[in-house]
Amino acid sequence: METLTAQKQEMKIPVTRVSKSKISEIDFTKLQFGKITSDHMFISSFKEGHWQNPEILPYGDISLAPTALCFHYGQTIFEGMKAFRMQDGNISIFRMEKHFERINKSLDRMCMAMLDEELFYNSIKQLVALDQQWTPTQEGSALYIRPFMIATEERFGVKESDEYLFIVITGPVSPLFNKPIKIKVETDYVRAAKGGTGYAKCGGNYGAAFYPTKIARQQGYNAVLWTDSIYNKFIEESGTMNMLFIINNTVVTPPLSDSILEGITRDSVLRIARDIGLGVEERDISVEEVVESIENGKMTEAFVAGTAAVLNPVELISAYGKDHLLPTLHDNALVYKLKKKIENIRTGVEKDIYNWNTVITQL
């Protein structure tokens, strides 16, 4: 396991503390997803070719010029990660290295300033350590960590920015869903095309997905299941989550491509599935195959995987205007088994054999 002092180079970040914590106003038994922010935030600016003035400050507004490029040409990217309260009281941050790799892939695609390990690890670890009482103890809850970057150069001509802000905020959350969801296979609109930005966590991908998602919600579904941009025939992923199926007792999921976001939850589930002896197939899966295998009973489970949702069962898939109901799940369903394994590793109930946790020692 990595520890706060052992890993990477230490960096001293100046801290301005809040005069009074707002934590006593928060009901940790009634958390929603994405409403509450912790006391502090991290901020650093990129100017003249390097990162400068790293600081931890009270969470609060930032001031930007109306010409800041992020408002005009979409250079914004983010990450979403979680920290968990372990059974010994310490805090584990899940798979920081994977998130570091991915944020730089997104930055590279969007021509934004890259982050170095020192800045990424230290900003997040020191912020989580400072606001550690904000990591919930309730089962299933977590401290959500949102690192993001925006273009700040003041200029309204179209160009890639030479200046950026990197900010990290956190907030306690419960899982995104609390019951099985209904999803609609989308065959009219696309989220991402070959050669596009689908693999990057850039703001524009989400703005473009709202409209079809709004229609699906109005029709009674929780999310859309995107299909490929050329034939609208092969399953890609769902909203902010990757899609997995259990067909003939094998875990089946679409292979990664430049139009699918490389989910870290997806990667973790596949790793665990292989190691507990389940078959895993990363292959093209058509909408037709999904429908057929629900109807002939070969598909016993379908679920989404993402940091916000963790693993969440899908109870119904709508395709070409027709609803297809999945079997009711029993307590021994694979989705629950896989989810429990991940949760056990994160909370220290099971040994972290993959070195996924960065542990912050409780003060």
Ligand X SMILES: *Cc1c(COP(=O)(O)O)cnc(C)c1O
Q: Which stretch binds ligand X (CB under 6 A): 130-138, 217-225, 272-280, 304-312?
A: 304-312
Q: Which residues contact 340 (CB under 8 A, 6 or more apart)?
A: none
Contact residue for ligand X among 150, 264, 311, 317 (CB under 6 A): 264
The C-alpha atoms of residue 264 and residue 242 are separated, in whole angstroms, by 9
The C-alpha atoms of residue 222 and residue 214 are separated, in whole angstroms, by 9
3-state helix, strand, coil in the chain (%, to 5): 25, 30, 45
SS3 159: coil
Q: Which stretch binds ligand X (CB under 6 A): 124-132, 171-179, 211-219, 303-311?
A: 303-311
User: Smallest distance from the beta carbon of 118 to ligand X, in angstroms?
Assistant: 22
For ligand X, the binding residues in 208-247 under the rule CB under 6 A are 237, 240-242
User: Smallest distance from the beta carbon of 178 to ligand X, in angstroms?
Assistant: 18
Q: Which is nearer to ligand X, 68 or 311 (CB)?
A: 311
The C-alpha atoms of residue 242 and residue 259 are separated, in whole angstroms, by 12
Contact residue for ligand X among 38, 307, 318, 357 (CB under 6 A): 307
The C-alpha atoms of residue 204 and residue 112 are separated, in whole angstroms, by 14
Total residues binding ligand X (CB under 6 A): 14
Using CA atoms, how far residue 192 sits from 23, 195, 205, 221, 234, in Å, is 40, 9, 8, 21, 13
The C-alpha atoms of residue 311 and residue 253 are separated, in whole angstroms, by 14
Q: Which is nearer to ligand X, 24 or 178 (CB)?
A: 178
Contact residue for ligand X among 265, 293, 300, 318 (CB under 6 A): 265
Q: Which is nearer to ligand X, 51 or 234 (CB)?
A: 234
Residues 39/61, Cβ–Cβ less than 8 Å: no
Contact residue for ligand X among 175, 306, 313, 348 (CB under 6 A): 306
Q: Which is nearer to ligand X, 96 or 264 (CB)?
A: 264
Q: Which is nearer to ligand X, 51 or 94 (CB)?
A: 94
Asked whether position 201 contacts ligand X by CB under 6 A, the answer is yes
Asked whether position 293 contacts ligand X by CB under 6 A, the answer is no
Asked whether position 253 contacts ligand X by CB under 6 A, the answer is no
Of the candidates 303, 297, 294, 308, the residue with the CA atom closest to the CA atom of residue 333: 303
Residue in the structure block whose two tokens are 């890259």: 114
What is the contact surface with ligand X in residues (CB under 6 A)? Answer: 80, 201, 237, 240-242, 261, 263-266, 305-307
